[in-house]
Chains A and B, each alone.
Chain A
């Protein structure tokens, strides 16, 4: 069975410090992996995606993620947090030929302190 585990339900950082949001996946096949962000009362916005090309993926707003097959991880990082980064972040796995079905992690709420 395919699954996604976000290791932290809540992460708090100070503005200007690095961000690390951790994600592990379980899949029998090579997955496509995504990070989405959801601001309060908003829909989901794509940050970045991995589809078996480069293992280090750069996304919007300075975020990036590294796919590590040996560790089945896809952690999201950002060198310097901004107040506007406060939101909920979802790690998502998608399987080939699964008819649009995305499997979401439980989400990590990121707080950014001034």
Chain B
């Protein structure tokens, strides 16, 4: 099976712009979670989608949003970019989200905000 794929892998934006990142889960996985990784804050949970519904959300401002499509692919959007949004954004997929299932991570999208 193909693993989790994320596009694009690298992105450079300027402050105030918006960005959309894409994640394709492993075939058959219905849960997609997003995480932000920065040197200062480490890995932090953004949100999780299951069957096109957001089921859990982390402590991020409303500028961070996401959605999931009927084929389980997910996108996350960040509006009005700030310098502090520069990070590695990881998505992970699993069969469900009850807590015991393994989450498989993609390679990430590295976002640089100038």
Contacts and interface: CB of A to CB of B under 8 A. Distances in A.
Interface of A: 31-32, 34, 36, 42-46, 49, 51, 90, 94-107
A41 B94 CA distance: 22
Q: What 9 pairs across the A-B complex have the smallest Cβ distances?
A: A99-B56, A100-B48, A100-B97, A99-B55, A104-B43, A96-B99, A44-B105, A100-B33, A43-B105
A32 B99 contact: yes
B98 A96 contact: yes
A45 B107 CA distance: 10
B100 A101 contact: no
B26 interface: no
Contact of B94 (A42, A90, A100, A105): A100
Q: Could you say which interface size class chain B belongs to?
A: 20 to 34
Q: Looking at chain B's contact residues, is the secondary structure mostly helix, strand, loop, or mixed?
A: strand
A98 B43 contact: no
Contacts of A46: 102, 104
B3 to A, nearest CB: 9
21 contacts: A31-B99, A36-B105, A42-B107, A43-B4, A45-B105, A49-B102, A51-B100, A94-B103, A95-B99, A96-B98, A96-B100, A97-B99, A99-B48, A100-B50, A100-B103, A101-B56, A102-B33, A102-B43, A102-B103, A103-B45, A104-B44
